Every structure is written in C-alpha cells, then in structure tokens.
Amino acid sequence: MVPTHYYLVLAGILFTIGVIGVLVKRNPIVIFMCVELMLNAANLTFVALGRHFGQTNGQMYVIFALAVAAAEVSVGLGIIVMMFRRRETIDIDEVHLLKN
C-alpha cells in the first residue's frame, strides 16, 4: 500500500489550503466551506492512522466528527442567514463592531 505519511502530508496540504481560504475570502459562506475542508482533512488523517495501526478507532472518531459537522453546518448557516437579514450584506469585513 501507499505509505501512510503520504496521506498525512496530503491531509496537511488540504488543511493549509482550508486555512488560507478562511483567512483570505470575504464571503462568510465560502469561509464556512473552507472550514469544512479543514474538517475533512482532519478526518482523512484519522482514517489513515487508523489503517496504519489496524484499529477501528480512527474511523469511529470520524463518524462522530461527521455527525457534529453536520449539526454545526446547519446552525452556522442559520447564523449567516440572520446576519444577512440585518445588514443586507454578507461582507465579513462589515462586521467590525469590536474595532479598537
């Protein structure tokens, strides 16, 4: 099989791309999508290592992470919808009440 560290490096790269996306994009929905990307990268790491050690533990973590991610997405999108209703814009830079 493919050496495990290949998967780890791949997951790391995906994770980094997700992070960059979170920092650079200004549309909150896209930011959220990049967060999902990060979550996936983490899940990939878990599965790869679970396979490496021959245990099901890795996959169990992923199942629960998946469930939580689903719940989180629904609530998060609800927040974004509310944000849009208030301001008529979803440029994340407009939400700067904490400035200075």
Partner 1 sequence: MQLAPTIFFWIMAILSIGSALMVVVSKNPVRSALFLVVTFLAVAVFYVTLSAQFLAAVQIMVYAGAIMVLFLFVIMLLNLSAPEALKERGTIQRPIALGLGGLFITALIFSQALLQMPTRPAPAEQVVNLGTVQSIGLSLYNPNLPWLFPFEITSILLLIAVVGAIVLAKRKLD
Partner 2 sequence: MLLSLSWLIVWFPLLGFLHNAFAGFIYKNPKAAKNAVSFVAPAVVFASFLVALVLLPAVLQSHEHRAYEGMVPFASPDVPWIKFGGFQVNFALLLDPLSLLMTLIVTGVGGLIHIYATSYMAEDKEFNRFFTYFNLFIFMMLVLVLAENFLLMFVGWEGVGTCSYLLISFWYTDVANAKAGNKAFIVNRVGDLGFALGMMAVWSVFGTLSFFNKDATGVMQLAAAHKDVMGHDLANLQLWFAPAITTMCVLLFIGAAGKSAQIPLFVWLPDAMAGPTPVSALIHAATMVTAGVVMLTRCSWLFIQSTTALQIVAWIGLATAVLGATIGLVQTDIKKVLAYSTISQLGYMFLACGVGNFRAAMFHVTTHAFFKALLFLGSGAVIHAMHGQQDMNKMGGLKTVIPKTWMLMFIGTYAIAGVFPFAGLWSKDSILDSAFRSPWGSGPILYVAGLGTAFLTAFYMNRMMWKTFYTDKRFEDGKLPNLNHSNEEHHEEEKPEGHIHEAPPTMLLPLYVLAFFSVVGGLFAFLFANDDLWKFTVATFETAKPALEEGAALPGGSIVGYVISTLVAVAGLAAAATVYKQRSQSGELLDPALKPKNPVYRILVAKWGFDAAYEFLFVRVGGNFSRSFLWRTVDGGIDSIVTNGAKLVGGISHVGRLIQTGYVRNYALGMLVGVVVIVLGLLITWQSLITR
Contact 14, 23 (CB under 8 A): no
CA pair distance 49, 44, nearest whole angstrom: 9
User: Apex CA 18: angle with CA 16 and CA 24, to 5°?
Assistant: 100
Interface with partner 2, residue 95, by CB under 8 A:
yes
* Residue 98 interacting partner from partner 1, partner 2, none (CB closer than 5 to 8 Å by kind): partner 2
- Please, which of residues 1-30 interact with partner 1 by CB under 8 A? 1-10, 12-14, 16-21, 23-27, 29-30
Q: Where are the beta strands (DSSP E) in 3-56?
A: none
Q: Binder to partner 2 among 22, 47, 49, 80 (CB under 8 A)?
A: 22
Report the residue number, 20 or 95, with the smaller CB distance to partner 1.
20
- Please, which of residues 24-63 interact with partner 1 by CB under 8 A? 24-27, 29-30, 32-34, 36-37, 40, 43-44, 47-48, 50-54, 56-60, 62-63
* Residue 87 interacting partner from partner 1, partner 2, none (CB closer than 5 to 8 Å by kind): none
Beta-carbon contacts of residue 45 (< 8 Å; ≥ 6 apart): 7, 8, 11
Contact 58, 47 (CB under 8 A): yes
